[in-house]
Structure formats: C-alpha cells, structure tokens
Structure 1
Amino acid sequence: MAVHCTTLEEVRNNIDLLDQQIVALIAERGHYVSQAARFKKSTDDVKAPQRVEQVIAKVRGLSQVAGANPEVTEQVYRAMITAFIRQELAEYSVLDKADKPRA
C-alpha cells in the first residue's frame, strides 16, 4: 500500500523500490514465457490473440480492484505482452529448427 510522502525525494525512493520489485516480477514472468514456447505447435499458438485478450480483461479487472487506472494497466500489459511475444517467437524459432531433421 502506498504511503503518504512529504518530499519528492521520498516519492522517488519509493518508486525506485517498486521498480526493483517490478523488474524482478517481469524477469520471473519472462522465465515462464520462455517455458511456454516448448508447448506451442506454431507461431500462431505463440501469438495467441484470444489469450492476449483474456489476459487484458483479467488485468483490467484486477486493476479496478486494486484502485489502479485500468487504461494505464491495459497499455502497460499490451506493451509487455508484445515484447514477450517477440521473445517467445525467437525462442520458438530456435526450438522449431532444432526439432526439424537436417537434409
């Protein structure tokens, strides 16, 4: 829960602490994304637009419960998901090439 800050320095220090936690969580999420590539059968499975929309709907709901701005949450998640899809496509490509026999 956010605390009431009395100086800009205090605000920035609290944001810095949150950034450390957010980056750690992004890294953890990224590890799961990397694992997901092993279970996908095609690049369409990686892109999974229906799953993206399910996640967006879920985080918008979570955002409202937490008192966050749902629009900001959606924009952040769409950017993050896009970046993770690029990462997963690259990993899927490597895995897909490794699975195909060489001529």
Structure 2
Amino acid sequence: MIATMKKEKCESLEQAREKIDILDTALIEIIATRQFYVDQAVRFKNSVQDVQSPERVEQVINKVRTQAIALGTDPDLVEHLYREMIQRFIQRELKEIRP
C-alpha cells in the first residue's frame, strides 16, 4: 500500500512548490507502476471486449469518485484524469491484443 504524504502548512511559495515537485515525482512513479500492472493484466485478456470492459471502467470511476469525495477533493477532476488515463491504457492494451 502506498503511504499518504503528510500534509503540512507551507511558509513560502518556494516551500509549496518543493512539496508539489515531490508529489509530481510520486504521481509519475505511481502511474508507471499502474502501467506495469496494466501490462500484466493484458496477458489474461483474450479479446477487445476484455480490454475495453466498460463495466470495469465504470466500477473504477465510481470507486475513485467516492475516494475523492472522502478525501475532500474534486470528484469531477479525478474522474476526468482517470478516464483519460484509462483510455490511454486501453489503447496500449489493444496494441497487444490485436495482431
């Protein structure tokens, strides 16, 4: 499980930017790890329908929206980011499924 970074009040713009830079690095690492597991999952999929799986997409979207609300962040923003990321991963998977 990935630990949540402790939130602390910043005393300057520079400090806030440093924290944002740290988070950006962590987000990219997390996305790369998610991509690794998407690449693993495609090995178990046999068709375009398995890859596109709209019911799974909606399940993930509902989950992340709920998590966003619980954490006090904008669920619409989170949904938008996830839909874009999922669509990119689906395109990546389709390249593996299609001959």
How many residue pairs get aligned? The number is 94
Please identify runs of 4+ aligned residues in structure 1 that moved more than 3 A.
none
Q: Write the distance in 1 (CA, Å) between the matches of 2:7 and 2:78.
A: 17
Please give the secondary structure, in 2, of the residue aligned with 1:16.
Answer: helix
Aligned to 2:3: none
Q: Secondary structure at the match of 1:55?
A: helix
Q: Which residue of structure 2 lines up, in the alignment, with residue 81 of structure 1? A: 86
Q: Greater Rg, structure 1 or structure 2?
A: 1
Residue 79 of structure 1 and its aligned partner are, at CA, apart by 0.8
Match of 2:65 in 1: 60
Deviation at 1:22, TM superposition (A): 0.7
Q: Percent identity?
A: 46
5+ residue gaps, structure 2, are 1-5
What is the CA distance between 1:68 and its match in structure 2? Answer: 1.2
TM-score, reference length from structure 2: 0.88
Q: CA deviation at 1:6?
A: 2.3
- TM-score, normalization: structure 1? 0.85
Aligned runs of 1:2-81 on 2, under 5 Å? 2-81=7-86
Deviation at 1:56, TM superposition (A): 0.2
Task: Look up the equivalent residue of 1:74 and give its one-letter code.
Answer: E
CA RMSD after TM alignment: 1.1
Unmatched runs of 5 consecutive residues or more in structure 1: 98-103
